[in-house]
Amino acid sequence: MSLNELTTLTASLGFTERNDPFKLFAEWMEDAKKSEPNDPDAMSVATVDEDGLPNVRMILLKDFSERGFVFYTNFESQKGHEILATGKAALCFHWKTLRRQVRVRGIVETVSDAEADAYFKSRARDSRIGAWASQQSRPLKARFELETAVAMATARYALGDVPRPPYWSGFRVRPLSIEFWHDRPFRLHDRVVFRREKPDGEFSKARLYP
């Protein structure tokens, strides 16, 4: 067995003994920040529409804690409408350099106005202007239409702060399950899932066949 294989095996066996999924996720995220060349906080977000047809897209995780996983968006977008309608979503993180994956499924709540305001103010000014200009997910006749909307929003907020649009805020996914997956030789991967019945309940842990 090579040194790299031994290191992977040791790390894998260590994670299966952990009993706190949030601390384990924090450790894996820190590892990803050191190894992933682009966007270690990238994740796919899955929702379902009114016909039960799934939708998935890549966005960025902006915060996480024992309260849940937070991202921000236009609530009038497709994902916004679908999440507000169902109150449910699933997330998936995949860190190729580490050969690790985390899947999250849970109940979704909106963040507080104070949280949304604080994050919106942290964004680049052009991004804040863009939030006013873009009618996210709706038909766009031509690129010029978007550029015109950006110019108008820029003129409107030429001086002073750019306030948060009333339709722009954040979602917090409060997990009912968090599954950790770690690549192992011969596809005999390690899988550990933490589950609970309600967002404020206690987790139980189980190992899964790969």
Predicted TM-score (pTM) of the model is 0.89
Which pLDDT value is given to residue 184?
86
Q: What stretches in the chain show pLDDT beneath 50?
A: 1-3, 5-10
The residues near 161 (Cβ < 8 Å, ≥ 6 apart) are 121
Give kind and range of the element (H or E) at residue 180: strand 168-182
Q: Which of 99, 187, 195, 207 is catalytic?
A: 187
Q: Which of 194, 189, 205 is nearest to 98 (CA)?
A: 189
Which pLDDT value is given to residue 11?
52
Domains of the chain, start order: 3-120+170-207 (2.30.110.10)
Which pLDDT value is given to residue 3?
45
Which pLDDT value is given to residue 200?
92
Task: Write the Ramachandran bin of 125: left for phi over 0, alpha for psi from -120 to 50, otherwise beta.
Answer: alpha
Which pLDDT value is given to residue 136?
87
Neighbour tally for 173: CB within 10 Å: 26
196 is catalytic: no
Which pLDDT value is given to residue 36?
92
